[in-house]
Chains A and B, each alone.
Chain A
Amino acid sequence: MRLTIPLTGTILEYHPELLQYGGSSGISGDPNDPVRPVTIDLGNVSWKLVSIDLETETMEIEVTPSDNVSELDLDTEGKQKVDTEGKPLYKTRPATGVEKLGFLDNAKNLIEGHTKDELYQISKCPKLKKPLKGVQ
């Protein structure tokens, strides 16, 4: 599943002649404020960069559901297990197909259920900064 998410961070260099190589080609971000999707927890999914569109200031990502899921560890009486500090203990097991679909739906709703401006507002991230230098 692919999603398009607004970008935040700071672009330090832009080399359009390198765009042809795909990925993040031609774009160098500030290590202290890297170019990245706005900070929104998409849930139990992973994602990979597909492409960056500087005109729309968005990143297209490929989203994949996790193979595992962590859930509260319960004892035989159904009571929640806790550690010595009272924190709940979790256990991990393989995610079911239904759960994986749920992970994807959750991520999709988080992004596509909001406008670009709303995502900036929700994430409290500033818009992409482009004090560009280098070859144009």
Chain B
Amino acid sequence: MSPVAISGVDKQGVYVNGVQVKQALDPANETVNKGVYDPTTLSAVDGDLAVGNIEQGVTIFGKLGTVVPMDVSDANAAVGDVKDPKTFYSVAAPRKTGTMPTVAITNANDNYPAGYHAGNVGGLDAIDLDLASANIKSGVIIFGKAGAATVQDISTADAAVTDVKDPKTFFSVTGARKTGTMPTVAITAANDDYPAGYHAGNVGGLDAIDADLAPGNIKDGVTIFGKLGTYAQTITHDVQDSDVDSAATTLSRQLDYEVTSYIAAGADGVFLTLTINCAQATVLEAAYFVNACGDGAGDNNLKLQMYIDGVAQGESANLTASGVFHLFYDTGYGSVASGNRIVYLNCHSYEASDASRAFISGGLFAAACRLV
């Protein structure tokens, strides 16, 4: 027992009221006070005194460290490179706190700020729903969204409502949806009007609209809408009843210079027709005197024929094949009952295959009525 005073510290330790008090090591600091301690180990006082906390090769209180030191010499992150408020160890300082701001793209503008972006698994179109094909010009691709074909640049459009078929709609240069006013019209056989507007057309051509547009109805040698006429000149005339009352009535027609007719092989070509309106039974007489010839090349085998009221009156010899005109003439007659009676001058081709061309260069074709 220590002879120590009532309270104090001597070589034996700490006394309080003459009673010795034992000391304890504090893991919070390295101080070892004077006094009496119970037996222990330092690692029991501070659990951090362990080989796993000591660098490899270093021994502390008998603990040989096993920690391999990390080489951080190549670290290069600065605080601006690390998201705020995350921390990191850099080469220059034990630990630092990042200052990189967290930012985001919004649909308010097209800003793309620097910083950390959380992103959006839905993509940019999840942020701005207007990023859609229907809102993008055709032919343009914005962030992978191809413009729809219906979204067109209409800045160069120039159609007016009168340019578009009624009632079809279109978008004008102003972007407004408009309805065409162009009328649908057509060429008809009733007249020669050619109205403005949309024409459906006719794959058969104009002659499908008016079947009278045919070579046989067009004057020989005249071309109308690509149809070369083959119709020989025809003159018709009615003798009035009062004319027939006279002793004799004569119709005569001077043949033009020069009448031409293309005649197919074996076919007829009527040059001239006179229609006589007979008020009563009449002796109808007819005669022609014409200069005629066939084409100047080839053996044409053409002959003139005259008919009175549907009955053949005669036939000429061959029209000369030299292209030189010769005079041909004939007469005929027959008694007919009242009514319209026709006399006509025809040219018949006896050719077996080739078409021929007949010319009449002046002449006279006449018919006379003589009362029975």
Residues of A within 8 A of B (CB): 9, 12-13, 15, 18, 21-31, 34-37, 39, 41-49, 52, 59, 61, 64-68, 70, 73, 82-83, 85, 87-92, 134-135
For chain B, give the interface size range.
Answer: 35 or more
**Among A15, A35, A64, A90, contact of B310 (Cβ-Cβ < 8 Å):** A35
**Chain B residues closer than 8 Å to A47, beta-carbon distance:** 314-315
Say which one of B209-217, B237-245, B318-326 lies at the interface with A. Answer: B318-326
**Chain A residues closer than 8 Å to B341, beta-carbon distance:** 28
**Among A27, A31, A45, A90, contact of B299 (Cβ-Cβ < 8 Å):** A90
**Among B297, B310, B317, B334, contact of A21 (Cβ-Cβ < 8 Å):** B334
**Among B311, B320, B326, B372, contact of A27 (Cβ-Cβ < 8 Å):** B311
**Chain A residues closer than 8 Å to B323, beta-carbon distance:** 90
Cα distance A92–B317 when bound, in Å?
A: 13
Known contacts A28-B336, A89-B296, A92-B320; can you find 10 more A-B pairs with CB under 8 A?
A: A15-B281, A21-B372, A24-B313, A34-B310, A47-B314, A66-B318, A70-B321, A73-B322, A85-B297, A92-B326
**Chain A residues closer than 8 Å to B310, beta-carbon distance:** 9, 12, 28-31, 34-35
Q: How far is the CB of A91 from chain B (nearest CB, A)?
A: 5
Q: How far is the CB of B355 from chain A (nearest CB, A)?
A: 12
Task: Say whether B372 contacts A18, CB under 8 Å.
Answer: yes
Q: Contacts A34-B310, A35-B310, A49-B313 given; indicate if A25 touches B335 (C-beta within 8 A).
A: yes
Q: Contacts A18-B337, A88-B297 given; indicate if A49 touches B312 (C-beta within 8 A).
A: yes
B344 (CB) vs chain A CBs: closest residue: A31
Q: How far is the CB of A95 from chain B (nearest CB, A)?
A: 9
Task: Say whether A92 contacts B334, CB under 8 Å.
Answer: no
8 Å CB contacts to A: which residues of B85-109? none
**Chain A residues closer than 8 Å to B307, beta-carbon distance:** 29, 31, 34, 36
A95 (CB) vs chain B CBs: closest residue: B317
Task: Say whether A23 contacts B317, CB under 8 Å.
Answer: no
B138 located at the interface, meaning its Cβ lies under 8 Å from any Cβ of chain A in the complex: no
| B interface majority secondary structure | strand
Q: Contacts A23-B332, A31-B342, A92-B320 given; indicate if A59 touches B312 (C-beta within 8 A).
A: yes
7 contacts between A and B (CB under 8 A): A25-B336, A46-B316, A49-B332, A83-B296, A88-B297, A89-B297, A89-B322
Cα distance A29–B281 when bound, in Å?
A: 16
Task: Say whether B317 contacts A68, CB under 8 Å.
Answer: yes
Q: Contacts A26-B335, A44-B318 given; indicate if A49 touches B326 (C-beta within 8 A).
A: no
B119 located at the interface, meaning its Cβ lies under 8 Å from any Cβ of chain A in the complex: no
Q: How far is the CB of A40 from chain B (nearest CB, A)?
A: 9
Cα distance A47–B337 when bound, in Å?
A: 26
Q: How far is the CB of B217 from chain A (nearest CB, A)?
A: 16
**Among B301, B311, B335, B336, contact of A52 (Cβ-Cβ < 8 Å):** B311
Q: How far is the CB of B325 from chain A (nearest CB, A)?
A: 10
Task: Say whether B337 contacts A15, CB under 8 Å.
Answer: yes
**Among A21, A30, A66, A68, contact of B335 (Cβ-Cβ < 8 Å):** A21
**Chain A residues closer than 8 Å to B322, beta-carbon distance:** 70, 73, 89-92
B350 located at the interface, meaning its Cβ lies under 8 Å from any Cβ of chain A in the complex: yes
Contact flags B346-372 to A (C-beta < 8 A → 1, else 0): 001010000000000000000000001
Cα distance A135–B210 when bound, in Å?
A: 40
Task: Say whether A49 contacts B317, CB under 8 Å.
Answer: no
Q: How far is the CB of B236 from chain A (nearest CB, A)?
A: 12
Q: Contacts A34-B307, A35-B312, A47-B314 given; indicate if A18 touches B335 (C-beta within 8 A).
A: yes
**Chain B residues closer than 8 Å to A43, beta-carbon distance:** 318
Q: Contacts A25-B335, A28-B310 given; indicate if A92 touches B297 (C-beta within 8 A).
A: no
Q: How far is the CB of B336 from chain A (nearest CB, A)?
A: 6
A28 (CB) vs chain B CBs: closest residue: B309
Cα distance A87–B303 when bound, in Å?
A: 20
User: Nearest 9 A-B pairs (CB), nearest first?
Assistant: A29-B310, A66-B317, A24-B334, A25-B335, A87-B297, A36-B312, A18-B335, A24-B311, A90-B321
B201 located at the interface, meaning its Cβ lies under 8 Å from any Cβ of chain A in the complex: no
A50 (CB) vs chain B CBs: closest residue: B314
**Chain A residues closer than 8 Å to B166, beta-carbon distance:** none
Q: Contacts A34-B310, A47-B314, A48-B314 given; indicate if A13 touches B337 (C-beta within 8 A).
A: yes
**Chain A residues closer than 8 Å to B334, beta-carbon distance:** 21, 23-27
**Chain B residues closer than 8 Å to A66, beta-carbon distance:** 317-318
